[in-house]
Each structure stands twice: as structure tokens, then as C-alpha cells.
Amino acid sequence: MKFRVAVAAVPLVLGLAACGSGNPQATGYRPSVPVESNTAASLKPAPVKPAPVAHLNRANLVPAMNAALTKQKSWRIALDMTVNGTTLLTMSGIQTAKPLAMSMDFSGAAIGNKSGKIILVGKTLYTSIPGMTPAGKYVKATGANAAELRSMLDGGDPSKLFASLSSVASVQFAGTKTVGAEKLDRYTVTVDTAKALKAMNQQVPSGAPKTIAYEILLDSGHRVRELRYEASGLSFRTSISEYNKPVHITAPPASKIVSR
């Protein structure tokens, strides 16, 4: 299975201490002597407590993730799915948003433990799989012929993954996690399984749980860096990195295109 995921501002209050003064007292022919006061000290504001960090919630998590993604031109994706310790599928590659393009290498038991490559340019897919195409050659697919392969690519497409999170039932901030030298915000996100799969035009498989709990890591710009799900022997993880790095994806040359 492939699954997709109001800042509360706390006002600060400044307290000013009351200031007092004494009245000067005259004495005969001598000038009056003012009574000392602590006016200057009393005017100092009370220490300001830093505002607590505002975390995302059920209402704004997905909008924040989508807003962050729309600002990105490209990214690198790595996806792996295992079932009871067996690698079902791994994918890794790059994607650009405008123009839409993706280049992914994949392997695993889901495709007979073979390795292959898919290149998406616009609405056209080019697939290279040992045993189905000669080495280094691609089959071109469009329309309905590309639907099945496109559904596999959707597992590594952040925009498709995020779409299923529109069914989010709860969001909980779970602290931070340091990955490399970067501190990331960690969220536990629970979604309705049936609604999540419906958003991806998929049926609910028999025995599927009613809800799915994800762990999502976000950077300071609300960009997803990792999305993970683990339950009942199934482990699914997508990591996204190298946002906005220059990449160039093109269709294979005509000399490498073959017919089925």
C-alpha cells in the first residue's frame, strides 16, 4: 500500500512596576532636600518570557506541507517498503515540478526481484525492466497503458502522498529529531485508512486497519524530509532531500525506444 499527510500565538504581557516618590520637606531658611526614590529602577519592565514555539495541528499541517512543496522546483526521493523483513520495493530518483518530470530506479520482490528504471516526462512514461526490455532499452507508454506504472510512481510523488493526508484524524507534535546536522520537527499523524485510499483512487484491502499512524519529519520551512509508517510487519518510508538542486530529466533518445 502507498499512503499520502492556526498557528497559536501566545501574547506576551509586559508588567511595569509602580513607582513612588517622597515629598520634599522645607526647613527654615535652608533649601529643601529631596527625598531619594527608586523611580528609575521601578520603570524597568519585567523580564520578557520568550514566546513558545508554535507547532502545526490538525487544521494546518497538510496546508503547510503543500504550501512548502509548491515553492520547490526539484527534489530527490528515496522510498522503501518491506513486509516481514522482505524488501517489497525500493525506489530512488529525482523529480521536477515545472515541467513535470521524474526519473526513478526501482527493485524488489514486487517486481520479481528485478531492477528497472522509469522516466516520466509530462504524461509519457518510459520503462526499462530486465526480462521485459533489452538492456538499456525502454518501452514508451501513454494513457491507459501507463496507468499501472504511474500508480507505482505515485508512491514516490510527494504531491500524491500528501493528498491522502487530507483525511487526517489527529496530529500530535512528538518533539524533535536530529538528522545529520539538522534538527527536524517530528509529528505523529493519524489518518482514516478508507478515506486515505479513496483519495488515491484505491480500494481498502481486506484486513486493513481502520486508521494509519505516520511519523512525519519536517524542517523549519515545513518541507517534508521523511514520512514513515510501520505496523503489522509492514514498513514504509519515504525520504525527500536536496530540494531545489539543479536537475535535468529528458526522455530517452529514439534509438533506445523499443516496441513490446
Q: By C-alpha distance, which of 113, 157, 155, 121 is closest to 140?
A: 121
The 10s digit of each residue's pLDDT in 147-171 is 666 666 665 677 777 777 777 889 9
For 225, other C-beta atoms within 10 Å of its C-beta total 19
25 or 154: whose pLDDT is higher? 154
What are 168-216's pLDDT values in tens digits? 889 999 999 998 888 999 999 998 888 877 766 667 777 778 888 889 9
Q: Which of 2.50.20.20, 2.60.120.260, 3.40.50.1370, 3.40.50.1980 is the CATH number of 61-258? A: 2.50.20.20
Q: What is the pLDDT of residues 76-92, one digit of tens each?
A: 999 999 988 899 889 99
Domain boundaries, the chain: 61-258
Task: Give the integer Cα–Cα distance in Å for 37 and 26.
Answer: 17
